[in-house]
Amino acid sequence: MTSLNQKLFQRSQEFIPGGVNSPVRAFKSVGGTPVFFKQGKGAYVWDADNKSYIDYVGSWGPLILGHAHPEVIKAVQNKIKDGLTFGAPTEAELEIAELLCKLVPSIEQVRLVSSGTEATMTAIRLARGYTGRNRIIKFEGCYHGHDDALLVKAGSGALTLGCPSSAGVPAEVTNSTTVLNFNDLEELEQIFSKAGREVAAVIVEPVAGNMNFVTPNPKFLPALRELCTKYGSVLIFDEVMTGFRVGLGCAQGVYNIKPDLTTLGKVIGGGMPMAAFGGKREIMQCLAPVGSVYQAGTLSGNPIAVSAGLATLQMVQTPGFYEKLTSSTQQLTNGLTGIAKKYEIPFCAQSLGGMFGLYFRGDIPSSYAEVMECDVESFNRFFHAMLEEGIYFAPSSFEAGFVSSAHSDMVIRKTLQAAERVFSTWK
């Protein structure tokens, strides 16, 4: 019998390319029919056929409090009564700007935008305008949104679909983009010693969450900071995913590195379209209307999105919030690793704060090349078996997973019981 999910997917492919509004949702690499969701509450989501799932995607990171958190809903309901948008300054934007500058010391000034792509695109333009240089450095497998200059050997959906470098991007644009290997110090030092004075910016996910989940080697981020300082290049931490996900001070707080610019998104919008970029005042002052680097947005700083973001950022400041989130996520990754080990399945997992990586290989990967050695077929089989069990992981072996404060001990236990049933019949 054709499910409603299948009927919806058939119809949506008529009107929307691939039936989805973002490629990674299409289940292309895992196969099967994408799940159409209709409701979310806490750690759970319900699909069009009323089947419930424990959700470890959380809309790709924003929902750190889980779905439809009462405080966030209340904030949006209160705000929406006064109108949806003004295209003019509002006090709420000032409130969240002050809060972001307080919570992230490297951010002296900040500008709100509507998506992570806008944030990273503008951070690159700003770094080029500030330095007068063109070359940018990114890392293979890192994804920074779909700006032309950054769609080179990108991660996330681009990697998932096997098109890390997109069609339609002129060579003239990507000729100024150098792609290096994440965690490769030698290569980095070589490039800088040869052409450091040409480098406008290095943009990096301080914890790579778009080629599965790869943490930085201890010397990698300090080396980036030292080289950018030495050669006058702008160090951009793309914390769209890690921002307020791995800790209250973001990844820069965890690793104690001060970037020149930071991009944020996801969590700071609480599930609504909102992102931001900010950093050193002297760089941010290059932005119009003060400086000559142009950037703009009709709905930038939208008051409804800001209200959801403010409510979320208030909640994550609750004492013990990140300790509990970290513990829940470790409970999941340690539990899955222990079960797989019991059944001698090549599998491991790791986490940082509320994000994690699952790997069908013997040991934790520390580079793009090692991530590519993971057994994708096994992941796809695991993904569907767990989906059947009512557990929704990211539909790609090249994505990180996310736990929310709504993922109680009972929810984690239910997930591990499902994994026990799946792994016990694996061979």
Q: How far is the CB of 252 from ligand KE4 (least distance, A)?
A: 14
Q: Are 30 and 384 in contact (CB under 8 A)?
A: yes
Query: Mapped to the 3 state alphabet, what secondary structure does 218-237 carry?
Result: CCHHHHHHHHHHHHCCEEEE
d(CA 87, CA 85): 6
Q: How far is the CB of 114 from ligand KE4 (least distance, A)?
A: 8
Pick the binder of ligand KE4 from 47, 55, 140, 399 (CB under 6 A).
399
Residue 365 binds to ligand KE4 (criterion: CB under 6 A)? no
Span near ligand KE4 by CB under 6 A; candidates 28-36, 39-47, 143-151, 317-325: 143-151
Pick the binder of ligand KE4 from 19, 42, 66, 116 (CB under 6 A).
116
Concerning whether 238 is annotated as a catalytic residue, the answer is: yes
d(CA 245, CA 313): 11
- Torsion sign, CA atoms 222, 228, 231, 232: negative
Pick the binder of ligand KE4 from 145, 259, 357, 395 (CB under 6 A).
145
Q: How far is the CB of 130 from ligand KE4 (least distance, A)?
A: 20
By CB under 6 A, what part of segment 44-103 binds ligand KE4?
A: 60
Of how many residues is the chain composed?
Answer: 427
Residue 227 binds to ligand KE4 (criterion: CB under 6 A)? no
Pick the binder of ligand KE4 from 8, 9, 19, 24 (CB under 6 A).
24
Task: Please identify which of the residues 238, 255, 260, 359 carries the catalytic annotation.
Answer: 238
Q: How far is the CB of 403 from ligand KE4 (least distance, A)?
A: 16
Compare residues 60 and 130 and give the one whose CB is closer to ligand KE4.
Answer: 60
Dihedral of CA atoms 111, 182, 243, 299 in degrees, nearest 10, equals 40
Residue 210 binds to ligand KE4 (criterion: CB under 6 A)? yes
By CB under 6 A, what part of segment 158-187 binds ligand KE4?
A: none
Of 323, 379, 382, 383, the C-alpha closest to 354 is 323
Span near ligand KE4 by CB under 6 A; candidates 98-106, 123-131, 238-246, 414-422: 238-246
Residues ≥6 apart with Cβ < 8 Å to 135: 176, 177, 178, 195, 198, 199, 200
Span near ligand KE4 by CB under 6 A; candidates 137-145, 162-170, 224-232, 294-302: 137-145
By CB atoms closer than 10 A (0-12, 13-18, 19+), residue 261 is buried
Binding pattern to ligand KE4, positions 264-283, x when CB under 6 A? -x---------x--------
Task: Please identify which of the residues 44, 143, 359, 392 carries the catalytic annotation.
Answer: 143
Compare residues 129 and 141 and give the one whose CB is closer to ligand KE4.
Answer: 141
Pick the binder of ligand KE4 from 111, 238, 261, 402 (CB under 6 A).
238
Compare residues 208 and 287 and give the one whose CB is closer to ligand KE4.
Answer: 208
Q: Are 123 and 259 in contact (CB under 8 A)?
A: no
What is residue 294's three-state secondary structure?
Answer: coil
Of 274, 425, 262, 248, the C-alpha closest to 339 is 425
Compare residues 245 and 407 and give the one whose CB is closer to ligand KE4.
Answer: 245
**Total Cβ atoms within 10 A of residue 157:** 24
Task: Please identify which of the residues 266, 322, 359, 392 carries the catalytic annotation.
Answer: 266
Q: How far is the CB of 224 from ligand KE4 (least distance, A)?
A: 16
Compare residues 376 and 416 and give the one whose CB is closer to ligand KE4.
Answer: 376
Q: How far is the CB of 199 from ligand KE4 (least distance, A)?
A: 20
Query: Mapped to the 3 state alphabet, what secondary structure does 26-69 carry?
Result: HCCCCCCCCCCEEEEEECEEEECCCCEEEECCHHHCCCCCCECC
The residue nearest ligand KE4 at its CB is: 116
Span near ligand KE4 by CB under 6 A; candidates 26-34, 42-50, 109-117, 168-176: 109-117
Q: How far is the CB of 274 from ligand KE4 (least distance, A)?
A: 9
# binding residues, ligand KE4 (CB under 6 A): 21
d(CA 357, CA 113): 28
Residues ≥6 apart with Cβ < 8 Å to 399: 24, 57, 60, 156, 160, 209, 210, 212
Residues ≥6 apart with Cβ < 8 Å to 190: none
Residues that bind ligand KE4 (CB under 6 A): 22, 24, 60, 115-117, 120, 143-145, 156-157, 205, 209-210, 238, 240-241, 265, 275, 399
Q: Which residues are catalytic?
A: 143, 238, 266
